[in-house]
Homo-oligomer: A and B are copies of this chain.
């Protein structure tokens, strides 16, 4: 196999899918596709009973709908060029847009999309209206002919809080504002959460988790019942007395959470096409090495395809078909 190559451990993937579907069955989970950007994985989530999905980009919505996964797609992000979605709505896809301003309401109203969620800020310095402004934005949206399905609020700042009690308390506090907004807005959906809070956020009606399916070292450190399913396979191309070098560089890894991990080795640094590491048991040129990304989402976005493996056997090859914008 050419390296670097994105590998998905089939058994770990299956375990992660089933563990999450047992905890949050059906509509209680709205899987976020940004973590895997792969319709083949979305189809497995669908087969596990989840009919509604979360997307972060217009491209993700487009590709999901084009692959027959358009029963209930939430674009959990603000966009101004919503008319890109018109052809999909006209072809029967159900698409809901997050809105947090008159401008994004206007953009939705000018498109064929007819449903929105009010995006509410719950502590993360990003998008969303303040909770006490949600009701009036919902009124504006309805006045423009849009149906308001409810609210969403992403407590992203709490995903990696290590202490579980502290995380629970912080989530409860963040959700207080979202619930107040939900009461003002109406509608049936209260959408939020992620892999880091999937078990703690009992206030939302649906959780937008994505990373659970492939996992990364940042989430693994929190002790969730999900397994590392994503690796970047590399080949050792150079060995010196003190270190070894494999062909998995920072162009093959999301680096915003820091260095990747290699079992039984210390990773020293990454350059464009190399990872330099110190293997405890030595290494030889030609050895294969499994590199664990620190952040799964941007890692996936760097690869054209993923190989689903059972041990050394490649079972399937899946295109990462939701890349780009």
Contact = CB atoms under 8 A, between A and B. Distances in A.
Interface stretch (A163-171, A198-206, A237-245): A237-245
Contact of A237 (B77, B237, B272): B77
A256 B156 CA distance: 21
Chain A interface mostly: loop
A271 interface: yes
A237 B34 CA distance: 18
A28 interface: no
Contact of A256 (B125, B250, B285): B250
Interface string A72-83: 000001111100
Interface in A178-200: none
Interface residues of A, number: 58
A251 interface: yes
B56 A273 contact: yes
Contact of A271 (B126, B272, B273, B274): B126
Given A237-B104, A302-B301, A3 B325 contact: yes
A149 interface: no
A101 B3 contact: no
Interface string A213-225: 0000000000000
A324 B298 contact: no
A162 interface: no
A46 B146 CA distance: 55
A271 B237 contact: no
A298 B299 CA distance: 12
Interface string A268-298: 1111111010000000011000000000011
Contacts of A242: 125
B325 A276 contact: no
B127 A238 contact: yes
A81 to B, nearest CB: 7
Contacts of A80: 235, 237, 285-286
Nearest to A128: B238
A243 B125 contact: yes
Contacts of A78: 237-238, 245, 285
A27 interface: no
Interface in A214-264: 235, 237-240, 242-243, 245, 247, 250-252, 254-256
